[in-house]
Structure 1
Amino acid sequence: MPLSTAADKSVLKSNAIWLYAMMGLNYVIPAAMLPFLVRVLGVEQYGLIAFAQAIGQYFVIATDYGFNYSGTRAVAQSRDDKDEVSRIFWTLTTVKLVLLFFGAFVMGGMIAFIPRMRANMGIYIVTYLGVIGSAVFPTWLFQGVERMRSISIISGLAKLSSAAMILLFVRNHDDSLLAAFLLSCGLLLAGVIGMIVALIQHVNWFTLPTRGDIYGALRDGRHLFLTTAAVSLYSNTNVFLVGVLGGDAQAGYFSLADKLIRAITGLVAPIIQASYPRVIRLVSESKDLALLFIRKLMFWFMAVGLVGGSLLFLLARPIALFSFGHNAIAVVPLLRCLSLFPGLAAMTYMLSTLVLIPFGFEKVQSRLLLSVGVLNVGVGFLLIPHYGALGGVLAMTAVEAVQMVGGTWLLSRGGISIARLLAMSVSRIDLATR
């Protein structure tokens, strides 16, 4: 039976709206806090927190292990079987908790043996609280059962509480540890509440996973884990590289530009995330239907990227002054260099999430992302020592373009021509797909 019924469209629309609400809070609240944190803490102390968060993000990726995709896919395929959903839930949760435990030992070792981290150990310790929150928040479960409303409300309330505490208690340059703690508390609170809601509404109480279940989860998630790890080589590593090679102040400037550009790019993420379970179901029914659905999104993303990039280039100065104040005027050239990034990132994210993964290209996608990630690190090492934060944003933009071209080429080799898809009329989508 076709999946494009009025009820299906209503669910997709509702999920996209709630994901927009969540993404809006996830990006708007931190973006709204940036001017306050920069003015109160200073760019250098803010850069220190951003550097710690960049390290924490590696642990988030490790504990996620690709389950936000493989877990969502597994739950979406078994959403009407509560026992099966519960088995998936407890298997993935057990694996994530074990990874979280080992991650804590690794973080402790880094603090003990790296002088720069040891000098600010408190900030790195409280940053790991955010890692815990991210690990226990079962985003993949809510996405798989297409209940994005729950994610949005929980995440939004936690972020608002964290922001309110920061505004009330962070007062001067010496409060950087408190600021880092309160930022992590928002993630931790969301994770705990999300776990409670999942237990009450969607799964049975604890079921001990078998060894086969655990091995199966690790096997299913490994290519997606490599994909997300590779993505971090260019989405997260640049903050780290700028901090190491350019210092905390340059890391602060880079992080300000990066957070703002990610907020703009994030405008399309709810549509992609809400569409992912739907594409999985469409592919199982008809690959042509899935491609038709994806084609419609492509045209929208291309238009938004063109208009948004042009506005960002022209309005970079007022945007920077409004967002961060005169203390961060150095962010203006960074934003202009990143004006192409939102459109490129939207297209690559869509190709990755809605085409490469659902159509079975996980292995080649992992190799592509690993390649561009390594390229990003290499370009970063060449540019950042000479240009600081500017070198970081130049590397970001170049690598995103390489990824889009590479993804399109891989799909064409697999029988899916993006150019041909865009040029075709709706009635002529007859691509040879795997």
Structure 2
Amino acid sequence: MSIYLRCMRKSVAHNTIWLTGSLVAQKVLSFVYFAIIARQLGVEETGLYVFALAFTALFGIFADFGLTPVVIREVAKERDHSQFSPSVKTRLIVSLRLKALFIVISAVAAVGFAKLLGYEERTIMIVLATSGVMMLDAIHVFAYGILRGVQNLRYEAIGMFGGQLLVVLLGGYVLFNTQSIFLLVGALAVGSLFNVINGVYHVWRAGIKIPFSYKISFGDIKGLLLMAWPFAAAGILARGYAQIDVILLSKMTGLTAVGLYAVPSKIVFAFQFIPIALAAALYPAMSRAFVASREKLSRIVQISMSYLMFLAIPLIVILLTMSPVIIKYVFGDAYLSSVILLQILSISMLFGFIDFPIGSLLNAVHKQHLQTMSMFITLVTNLGLNLLLIPRYGALGATIAAVVGQTVLFSTGLYFARNVIHWDVSVLLSRAVRMLASGGAVAALALALLPRLTSFLEYLSQSGQTLYLFAVLLGSLAGLGIVYIILIFVLRAITIAEVKTFISTYIKRNV
């Protein structure tokens, strides 16, 4: 193996470690911060805050329009990043100018559509404020895209964690003093501005120069937009699927329903970093195996699905059985109506987790269009169900639509991938049965312990021992997880030898 390839593989490993570590820390901070927001603001104000962010996030995808993935790909092609080739330099300039135009258009469109849809004046003003945050986010995403192209994710990882920490500190001060949503959005803006400064500074430090006075033609613009379009389409579908339920809830049932729905959504989404990190780690191995050996590719996909199933099942069991105490003591009594929503939504985690290897597989074998088609089918299904169920069932209808949508996404992806590799269905089913048996035993244990745990937590709550309360709650959840792991090894759903092999593959990026 050449020195260049060894350095490249080492760089990929270091980048993944940095980004995964940052993502985990950021998710923890974000979850704690949201729990504080929910408790301090109350259901309706939390719904307003969540809606404004979701609404502008929907328009945020148009601010990028697939340009950042193109920039990453084009910059990554260059060996000398201090002196780009004319074609790459042209694409960078065109991307930068189009990005500036799209950012302004997206922000104006977000506020305009909020007015067009008849939202209250205060809601529109908050959307205006969050549009400013969206503009800053679009800038730092572009800067970090350039750094990703030169395979340096360290500064992005530091920036994202640092920005989130700033948001938590400033937002926490606001929540415990004024509880102003406008100031909370201001805290978000400070975090985003920190990332803009961090990203732009390190692009400059990397010696990457983008000349602003550079002539471009209409053909350059057209060519770049054609390159960006597939990424834009995938981004629009993914963002639409992620945000459309909140927007429909806000119009059809009101902001209180959004607040109740936001809590279980946040809890379930908080664990998304697990399949995301695993998929990112195994994607290079999948790409190499596609060229070298279909048998190895099949093994990677099915092992990764097994491990994600192994991780998803205890989370589902814990959320199904322990959601009453999680909601009550983490978010407060005002959100007790969210318990049933969390229990239903947790079911989607199984398909949500094991769908990631399928998406990575389709991308690795150059069938991205099938993944986009799968997302389109899911979006249409989810939109139709939301329109049908929300008017009758409110947040419960949106929850059911989300579970069905995730099931459709997995099912269509599996259908498209059915002939790409050989599927050893018997092995997957055997593992699944043993994992479900382990999960069932843990569920029975959790239900048996729940009454006593609830009584003890209530005693701690009444006596003001908050830190002890959270320690007991976290310890109980961790204990259930440990019991599950023991049962997994006892039933040989996964063996220790398989775990060692998997960890070795994950770290070394080798197959």
Kindly indicate whether residue 286 of structure 2 is the aligned counterpart of residue 273 of structure 1.
no
Equivalent residue, structure 2, for 1:376: 382
Deviation at 1:302, TM superposition (A): 2.4
User: For the Cα contact (< 8 Å) 1:18–1:152, is it kept in 2?
Assistant: yes
Q: Which amino acid aligns with 1:342?
A: M
Query: Equivalent residues in 2 for 1:73-152 (5 A)?
Result: 73-78=73-78, 82=82, 83-84=84-85, 88-137=91-140, 138=142, 139-152=144-157
Go from structure 1 to structure 2 and tell me whether the alpha carbon gap of 1:300 and 1:320 turns closer, same or farther (over 3 Å shift).
same
Kindly indicate whether residue 347 of structure 2 is the aligned counterpart of residue 340 of structure 1.
yes
Q: Distance in 1 between matches of 2:68 and 2:302?
A: 24
Q: Which amino acid aligns with 1:234?
A: Y
Equivalent position to 2:206, from 201, 218, 223: 201
Unpaired segments ≥5 residues, structure 1: 427-434
Q: Distance in 1 between matches of 2:6 and 2:339?
A: 45
Deviates more, 1:384-393 or 1:5-14: 5-14
Equivalent residue, structure 2, for 1:431: none
- Residues 38-75 of structure 1: CA deviation (Å, up to 9, x unaligned): 23221101101111111111122112223454443444
Equivalent residue, structure 1, for 2:357: 350
Go from structure 1 to structure 2 and tell me whether the alpha carbon gap of 1:64 and 1:280 turns closer, same or farther (over 3 Å shift).
farther
Q: Which amino acid aligns with 1:164?
A: L
Q: Distance in 2 between matches of 1:242 and 1:14?
A: 42
Equivalent residue, structure 2, for 1:403: 409
Aligned with 2:210: secondary structure? coil
TM-score by length of 2: 0.74
Equivalent residue, structure 2, for 1:61: 61
Equivalent residue, structure 2, for 1:432: none
User: For the Cα contact (< 8 Å) 1:126–1:180, is it kept in 2?
Assistant: yes
Instruction: Indicate the RMSD between aligned Cα atoms, in angstroms.
Output: 3.1
User: For the Cα contact (< 8 Å) 1:320–1:332, is it kept in 2?
Assistant: yes
Q: Distance in 1 between matches of 2:192 and 2:161?
A: 10
Aligned with 2:274: secondary structure? coil
Kindly indicate whether residue 418 of structure 2 is the aligned counterpart of residue 412 of structure 1.
yes
Go from structure 1 to structure 2 and tell me whether the alpha carbon gap of 1:196 and 1:385 turns closer, same or farther (over 3 Å shift).
same
Go from structure 1 to structure 2 and tell me whether the alpha carbon gap of 1:168 and 1:391 turns closer, same or farther (over 3 Å shift).
same
Go from structure 1 to structure 2 and tell me whether the alpha carbon gap of 1:88 and 1:319 turns closer, same or farther (over 3 Å shift).
farther
Q: Which amino acid aligns with 1:204?
A: K
Deviation at 1:118, TM superposition (A): 3.1
Q: Distance in 2 between matches of 1:153 and 1:283?
A: 32
Deviation at 1:124, TM superposition (A): 0.8
Equivalent residue, structure 2, for 1:430: none
Kindly indicate whether residue 251 of structure 2 is the aligned counterpart of residue 248 of structure 1.
no
Go from structure 1 to structure 2 and tell me whether the alpha carbon gap of 1:239 and 1:298 turns closer, same or farther (over 3 Å shift).
same
Unpaired segments ≥5 residues, structure 2: 429-500, 502-511
Go from structure 1 to structure 2 and tell me whether the alpha carbon gap of 1:213 and 1:419 turns closer, same or farther (over 3 Å shift).
farther
Q: Distance in 2 between matches of 1:81 and 1:284?
A: 29
Equivalent position to 1:261, from 242, 265, 268: 268
Go from structure 1 to structure 2 and tell me whether the alpha carbon gap of 1:7 and 1:230 turns closer, same or farther (over 3 Å shift).
same
User: For the Cα contact (< 8 Å) 1:64–1:96, is it kept in 2?
Assistant: yes
TM-score by length of 1: 0.86
Deviates more, 1:392-401 or 1:283-292: 283-292
Percent of residue pairs identical = 20
Deviation at 1:357, TM superposition (A): 2.6
Deviates more, 1:283-292 or 1:191-200: 283-292
Deviation at 1:241, TM superposition (A): 1.4
Deviates more, 1:199-208 or 1:55-64: 199-208
Equivalent residue, structure 1, for 2:33: 33
Q: Distance in 2 between matches of 1:331 and 1:365?
A: 32
Equivalent residue, structure 1, for 2:461: none
Aligned with 1:115: secondary structure? coil
